[in-house]
Amino acid sequence: MPALPQIRDQFITVPHSDLLARMILALPNLMITLCAFFAGWIIDRIGRRKLLISGLFLYVASGSLPFFLTSIYPILLCRLVFGIALASLMTTSTTLIADYFSGEQRNRLMGVQAGCMAFGAMAVLLLSGFCADISWRAPFLMYLCALCVIPLAFKYIHEPKRNETHPEKTFLFGRDTLKKTSPVYIVAYSSMVVFFILPAFLPFYIKESTFVDNKSVALVIACMSGVRGCIALLYGMSRRWIHFNSVFILIFTGMALGYGIIGFSEHYIQILIGALVCGAGLGFLLPNLTAWAMEYAPLEHRGKVIGGLTMSIYFGQFSSPLILSPLVSFCGMARSFIVLGCALLLFAGFFTVLNLKKIFKRNYTGFN
C-alpha cells in the first residue's frame, strides 16, 4: 500500500507508529489465516450464499470506514474485520466455483479467478498510488467499488443443490480427507513462504541495487502481476494435456529461473526480466493448488478443504518475512534469491520424481 509512509507520518506522535502503520497491511493476512477454515466450516454447515453476501457487506464497510477515522487504533480494528470479510469471500467464492462447475470447465474458471486476482492486484497497486498522492485516506475509498457487486450477488448467486448427502455437522473433516489434502497444504504453505520474498523484499532490492525511483519499482511489481494474470488465463487449456503434478514442475522451474535472474542481476532491466519470468511461473500456482485440493474434496467437506487451503496460503505469506529475514540478513538479498531459486528447483525435482514413479507404476501394471 503506497500510502503507508503517509499514514506513519500522520500518526507520528503515536508510540510505535512505524510498526502500527505496517500492521495495517499485515493484519488482514493474519485474520484470513485464523478465520478461513472456520469460514469453510460455516458454509459446509449453513450454505454458501448467506456468508458470501454477508462478507460483501462487511468488506465494503470495514474497507472504506478508515477514510472517516482520525485515530490509528480504530483503523487497525477495521483492518481486522476486513480480514474476516476477505476470509469469507475467498473461501466461499472458490468453493462456489467447485460447486457450479466440474472437469475442464472448473479448471478454466480456476484460471480465470487467479487471473482476475492478479489483474486486480495490479490495478489496486497503480490506483492506490494515484489516490495516495491525493490523500492517505483516499485509497480506502476504493473498497466502495464492491457495492456494484452486491446486487449481482443477490441476483445471480444461488445456493448449490446438495442432494447427494446431508450438510456436514462436524468441525473437522475425516481422517481420509485430511490424509489426502495435507500434502496440498504443505506445498501451498512452502511455496507462499518462498514466493512472498517478491512483494516483501524485491522493492528494497531494486532500490538498493539500481537506485531507481518509486515509479520504476511499482512498474516491476505491476508488470509481474500482469504477466501472472495472463498466464493464469491459460490454465484451463494447459490442463487438457498435462496433469497438475506436471504443472507444478513448470511452476517451480519457472520461478527458480526468475529468482536466478534476479539474484545475478546488476541492472534494472535484468531485474524486470527476472520478475516477468517469476510472474509467468506464478500464474499457474493458485489455480493448480486449488485444482489439486478439489480432486480430494468430497462435497460435504468442500468448504473446509478450501478454507484450509486459503489458511495455508495466507499463513505462508504472513510468516514469510519472519522466516526469510534471517536468510536475507545472513546472505544478502541477491544471494537469498539464488538460494531460494535452488530450493524451488528441489520442489520441481520432487514433482518430477512423483511423475516418474506414476509413469513407471502405470507401465509396470500394463506390462503385467
d(CA 190, CA 193): 5
- 292 contacts 243 by C-beta, under 8 angstroms: no
Instruction: Identify the band that residue 250 occupies on the pLDDT scale cut at 50, 70 and 90.
Output: very high
Burial code (b: 16+ CB inside 10 Å, e: under 16) for 50-81 equals ebbbebbebbbbbbbbbbeeeebeebbbbbbb
Helix 72-100 to helix 49-64 angle (10° resolution) is 150
> Would you say domain 4-158+170-367 falls under CATH 1.10.3720.10?
no
pLDDT at 29 over 90: no
Listed in sequence order, the residues at least 6 apart from 194 whose beta carbon sits closer than 8 Å to its beta carbon are 255, 320, 340, 343, 344
pLDDT tens across 273-328, in order?
A: 999 999 999 999 999 999 888 887 777 788 889 999 999 999 998 888 888 889 98
| Other CB atoms within 10 Å distance of the CB of residue 215 | 9
Q: In the chain, pLDDT over 70 holds for what percent of residues?
A: 93
Query: Residue 184 CA to chain centroid, in angstroms?
Result: 14
pLDDT tens across 102-112, in order?
A: 888 888 998 99
pLDDT of residue 298: 76
Q: In the chain, pLDDT over 90 holds for what percent of residues?
A: 46
pLDDT of residue 165: 46
Report in angstroms the alpha-carbon separations of 122 from 50, 111, 187: 29, 17, 25
Instruction: Identify the band that residue 56 occupies on the pLDDT scale cut at 50, 70 and 90.
Output: very high
> Which range in 46-50, 134-138, 155-159, 335-339 is most confidently predicted, on average pLDDT?
335-339
pLDDT of residue 365: 59
pLDDT of residue 218: 77
